[in-house]
Structure formats: C-alpha cells, structure tokens
Chains A and B, each alone.
Chain A
C-alpha cells in the first residue's frame, strides 16, 4: 500500500544551506534512503546523497534522521513517527560537500596516526601463531566496524567542541582497542592514548554506543578498558611504585 511521506531535506553547500520540503509516495517496507532516492529521481535531480550497498555494510549513507545519527538505508519508515515530516540532514561533525554528503576524510587521516599492528614472532616454524579463541573473540567485536562514522558524528567532543585536532574519537578508540588488546600485538599505545589521542576527553556518555549500527559496545568494551589501562600506567600510584620496585 503506498502512502504519502513528507520530508525535510537539508540542501546546501559549505557556505550556506537550508531545509527544503518534499512530498513523495512510499510503499511498505521502504527505508529513508528509498524515499530520498525517489525525491532525487522525480523532483530534485541535483540532490547529492552518498550510498553504495543499501545493506548497512558500506557505511556510506550516514546522515541525521529526525536529529539522530543513523544509516539512511537501515532506517525503516515504519520505525519513524507516522504522519510527521521526516528530517534528513548531513552529519554535523564534518564539513559539507553538498546536500547530504559530508567530507569524512579527516577520519582516514586520523587512522594513519595510529600505530599499526606489530605481532610477536610466529609461534610455530611454519610462520603461524596460536591464540586462544576467547582472546580472539574479545577483539572480534571491534572488527565489525563499517566506518560509517556515526559515532564520531554524535560524540560531543567532536560535534560540539570540535576537538578534531587533538581527539581521535570513538571509532578510533575501537580501532586502537582492536590492536591494543590483540593477543599477538606487541606495540604500546597507552602513552599515545593519554597524550596524543586524548582519551581523557571522553566523558563516557555512551552516545557513540547508542548510534553504532553494528551494535559495537564502544564505551563499555573499548573505551573504558582503555581508560583503565591508562590509569594503570599513569594515575595509579601503587602500581607505579610496584613498577619502580620491580623494575618493570
């Protein structure tokens, strides 16, 4: 059964922009990306929208729908309040290119600053390693990330305080956790977490966890365990004393 849907879509570029209203038809089971595409096909051929998979796996179609960071392709119309216009706008924490498309390249530059995986020498003569399944499972959760950057967008340290130059954001704490907690990794990222990545700016509001389309427990499983490792190294006087005495 097709029904009318009203949309308020943000249109503009890096200098200015505003919401424009559109009306279109929607069928059962449609998602926000479908109706945005319909508007593009029938009323606004110059509307810029980025997408690739329409399956919640490429992380391209991130936007803010009714004010919440979400994937357009995974947000069903039936989950939104019926009869009210749907607001679709680009992510706020990144510069606009055009309409719904933002420039997320800052994230890729951040990723390059994180010390890469450095495995210990192989365990077996054939160049392979042995790992406990539980240890692998722990970091596996972090590898589900599709780099949609919705968590970066919702994080108020970036969104409201624009600490892009000093704070790497939840996505890259997940990435750092995947490396730092990896059973084979030998690199030490704890000083960088404190001084360069500025983990301390995170005040554990869990907004990143709330918006993650892959349901990664970003705050509880990545950020807080990393915070605890920083405490171990820098803020726990007894552990410090123990390290000095034991010479480790």
Chain B
C-alpha cells in the first residue's frame, strides 16, 4: 500500500466548521430507532392483545406456539425455560431484528447516530481507535444475506396474513385493519426486495448482468427498489410498529375496526 499521507489535523469530538444543522438527521435516526426498539421490546413481552379477529400482529407473526387460533402448533412448549417469560414474539423476532440490524442502510445510519462513527459527515469523532467492519465484532455484519433468506420467507407468511385480513366470519370484507395489513406488507416487500444482498444475488455478482427477460426484470426491479431503500426502511419500520398498535388498540377495545365494504 502507498506510504502514508498524514491528515492536516484530526478534529475533536463534535468539532466541525459545518454551519448547517448536521445534527438533525443523526438525532432523528437516534430517536426513531430508539422509540421503535423500546416499543417493540415492550410489545414483544406483553403476550396479549396481539390478535383481533382475522388479524395477527406482525410482531407475533408467524405464531409458532401460542394461545391464539393463529398458532401453528398450539400452546407454548413445555421445554420453554421457566425463567424467560414466554411470548410467541420472542421466537420469531430475532429474524427481522437481525435483518434490520445487519442491513447496509441501517448500519451506516446507526453507526453515526448511536456510535458517532462519525457523528455526521466531516464532524469530529469521539474515539481514536477504529476497526470498522474489517475485524471482530462488526465483521459479523457479513451474515446479512442469511437474514435476507429468512426475511424472504417472512414476506410470504406476512402476505398470507394480509390475505387472511380480508376474511371475516360473515364473508370477505375490507376493514380499515385490512388496509393497514396490506400497506404493511407492501412496504415490507419494498424494503426486503430492495436489499443490497438480493441485488447481488439476482445479478450484481456477475460482470455480465442477466440477459434473459426474467433475469433482467428481476435485476431492474431490485435495483429500482434499492435506490429507495432508505425510504422503504423507514416507512416499513413505521408500518410494522403501527400495525401492531392497531391490532393492540382494537383488541383492547380502544379503537373500533371500521368496515369499509
């Protein structure tokens, strides 16, 4: 490697000549992600109010074991360790959580907002030492594609749940909740199908992009969504949280799930 060129000077933590409001984006990221994490952790441990009629909260979907009629294999397993409170959400949440935690977009965003690495572009950092994603522990982020495989399965399951959200005891109808579920799955799809690892898998890994019509269409679609990955990341994060709030509020009798037609 080329011999070193020393930088002029390294600025101290938060020191910058920038005059714009550079702290707004990292602050909003910090607040947005913190709020979501706190809410989801709370909601995951509730083990209550996560279903309402045909709806199953996306934080609990798929319900592998549980007490609701949505559960695949019936009540909680006997082998569940007594010291951990049981909740169907705890069985599945590691997958979407891992998917978002290792997502390229979120990585760049939370390294700035939570770790100050850097706090914002051209703003001084808190630490001198730096390992980046080159060494342990952050080298583990390279596992992202495996979480993508799980996320692709989840999208199918959540799409199925959104279809069930049309089925009411008196027939097929559209309620406000139905629209909430459909919007959520569309936004989650926009996020998942715009993943950088997926873009790599469907063609980016080769020096010659797919030549057949299907391969081309896949690469173009994923690339198109990928350009809006940040937007979908936030919209889908919000929609997952809101869908859970909606089901919870209906189940608690606070909101009424209005029928549209």
Stretch of B58-66, B183-191, B202-210 that contacts chain A: B202-210
Tell me if A106 counts as interface (CB < 8 A to partner B). yes
B1 touches A69 (CB 8 A): no
Q: Determine the distance from Cα of A230 to Cα of B207 in the docked complex, in whole angstroms.
A: 14
A200 touches B18 (CB 8 A): no
B139 touches A200 (CB 8 A): yes
B207 touches A182 (CB 8 A): yes
Chain A interface extent, by class: 35 or more
Chain B residues with CB under 8 Å of A200's CB are 132-135, 139
Interface flags, B205-237, vs A, CB<8A=1, else 0: 101110100001000000000110100000000
Chain B residues with CB under 8 Å of A205's CB are 108, 111-112, 117-118, 121
Q: Determine the distance from Cα of A112 to Cα of B8 in the docked complex, in whole angstroms.
A: 24
Q: Determine the distance from Cα of A244 to Cα of B108 in the docked complex, in whole angstroms.
A: 33
Chain A residues with CB under 8 Å of B11's CB are 92, 160
B17 touches A135 (CB 8 A): no
Tell me if B34 counts as interface (CB < 8 A to partner A). no
B226 touches A220 (CB 8 A): yes
Q: Determine the distance from Cα of A89 to Cα of B15 in the docked complex, in whole angstroms.
A: 15
* CB contact under 8 A between A113 and B1, given known A92-B7, A202-B132: yes
Interface flags, B1-27, vs A, CB<8A=1, else 0: 111111111110000111110000000
B132 touches A110 (CB 8 A): no
Please tell me which one of the listed residues B108, B130, B135, B143 contacts residue A163 in the complex, with CB atoms under 8 A apart: B130
Tell me if A132 counts as interface (CB < 8 A to partner B). yes
Partner-B contacts on A (CB < 8 A): 64, 66-69, 81, 84, 87, 89-96, 102-103, 105-106, 109-110, 112-113, 132, 134-135, 138, 154, 156-166, 168, 180-183, 185, 196-198, 200-207, 210-211, 219-220, 224-225, 227-232, 235-236
Q: Determine the distance from Cα of A204 to Cα of B56 in the docked complex, in whole angstroms.
A: 35
Tell me if B175 counts as interface (CB < 8 A to partner A). no
* CB contact under 8 A between A236 and B2, given known A203-B133, A205-B121, A207-B121: no
B210–chain A nearest beta-carbon distance, Å: 9
A118–chain B nearest beta-carbon distance, Å: 12
A67 touches B18 (CB 8 A): yes
